Structure 1
């Protein structure tokens, strides 16, 4: 199985590197400057148990994804459509595309840009990682995936085959018949932490120790659950998982915080912003999520957000 990684950032870099480290043939797609660095220097994966520099295959030419059986779409949520449009002419009809992205609607948005028969499966990502440099991924913890099952057609990778490839790379994978509850559970975690970590510029551990933070998080979580319920999605009580994030990843900054610190537009429109939009459509009030969404957008308004889409 040859695996393509569309978007060599913190998520794509981590999972692609773990697969490559296990001997899987991996093709990384990135921007030209990053590809040049990856080609000459390799990709450094700095984890808790090891620190290795891997010789990898990288390109800025999306058409090379045609040779891949499995494609990991790891671009930011705001670049989903652009990435799909770039990939669409070149993907093999039997390729499986996994959406390894934040939010609950990336898989259908991605599928809408591809040929109708292209299989796109959503995945829930639980990993703490950051892109320290264009050729350097630092892993802070976790790394498991929850992937939606699919029924493969002849010649197409099956879910258990994909699970086996990740397992060989020491990446735990759970296959789910209904992944919506897991997607919403992750959205709740992101909505609780991402904006607050970004606005305070604090990692999770110190963040939750500040007065008033946990009650605010509870309000955010309650609104998310109300919207999910109105959507017909039953989400198990997420509060223990919310508290566990700060315990297991105390030094981790949210991806939104990392984006703002690098002068990049964040995914806040697809996190708290999505909760606000769905709440408006369903008649559910979301004042805590709205406030966090507006505050992050105000910070973004001060940034130069003109970036090439789809590959970062």
Structure 2
């Protein structure tokens, strides 16, 4: 399969690298420093089970997506519109654009912006860019994807590449389940600059997380969303399975970058206002992260 990864950061490099390692024709569309390192030395896949350099194509240009059957769309939610517009002139008509992003609105937005088929995926992976062209994997890696014309082939490709993948008719609910996890952990990890395992050991943290999660579930119920599984168990499992992971929001703030907080706790606040559900805990986290962003300029 010919695959393009738009926004090859920590998530895109992990999944694109795993597919390339399995023999697929992958091009990573990334920032110049990563592209230079990848073209010179290959992509370093530094995982819990192996540490290898994978030969893969890389480019800074959106035009590199030409000919791709599958596009892994991995940009920040704040960049969805601009990245989709950059890709649009070069996408094949029958390409599948698979959103591997935080938040619950990106796939719907892609369907508004692009004539090609777009589908959502829920991503559960702990990874970071440890340096130019160097992806470090801290744990997990499974995907949940929604049905599409290519879903069976895509799921099979990922599974064969060592990525547990399932197809679900309730990806909206699964996206909300991931949103709840992000709301519980991301802002707190960002404000404290602490990894998940250490974060949850703080006095009063699990109770505060309980308040955050309760607000998210109240908003989801009011919005008619059915969240699958045991949410409380999933929240606990994050700290257990990803103890050394800093949230993507924490990584963004540490680098002085704008985060996706508007699409995480901020979304809960907006939907809560629209639906008449109070969200004081999520509002406070949203305000604090935005203040830190503004302070950093």
Under TM normalisation by the shorter chain, which class is it?
over 0.9
Range that drifts further, 53-62 or 90-99: 53-62
Matches within 5 A, 1:1-312: 1-115=1-115, 118-150=116-148, 152=149, 158-236=150-228, 237-304=230-297
Counterparts of 1:76 and 1:278 in 2: how far apart (Å)?
20
**Cα distance, 1:69 vs structure 2:** 0.1
> TM-score, length-normalised on structure 1?
0.93
Counterparts of 1:287 and 1:12 in 2: how far apart (Å)?
33
Q: Which has the higher helix share?
A: 2
1:180-217 deviations in Å (ceiling 9; x for gaps): 11000000000000000111111111111111101110
**Structure 1 residue ranges without an equivalent (≥5):** 153-157, 305-312
Aligned length: 296
**Cα distance, 1:266 vs structure 2:** 0.8
SS in 2 for 1:68: coil
Counterparts of 1:249 and 1:61 in 2: how far apart (Å)?
33
**Structure 2 residue ranges without an equivalent (≥5):** none
1:272-300 deviations in Å (ceiling 9; x for gaps): 00000111111110000000000000000
Counterparts of 1:284 and 1:174 in 2: how far apart (Å)?
33
Counterparts of 1:99 and 1:166 in 2: how far apart (Å)?
15
Counterparts of 1:168 and 1:303 in 2: how far apart (Å)?
43
Counterparts of 1:105 and 1:281 in 2: how far apart (Å)?
16
SS in 1 for 2:295: coil
Range that drifts further, 13-22 or 35-44: 35-44
**Cα distance, 1:31 vs structure 2:** 2.4
| Map of 1:155 onto structure 2 | none
Which protein, 1 or 2, shows the higher relative CO under an 8 Å CA cutoff with sep ≥ 6? 1
Counterparts of 2:157 and 2:275 in 1: how far apart (Å)?
40
Cα RMSD (Å) of the superposition? 1.0
**Cα distance, 1:41 vs structure 2:** 2.0
Q: Which runs of 4+ in 1 moved over 2 A?
A: 31-34
1:107-145 deviations in Å (ceiling 9; x for gaps): 111222212xx1000000000000111210000000000
Counterparts of 2:160 and 2:239 in 1: how far apart (Å)?
29
**Cα distance, 1:56 vs structure 2:** 1.2
Counterparts of 1:159 and 1:37 in 2: how far apart (Å)?
32
**Cα distance, 1:243 vs structure 2:** 0.6
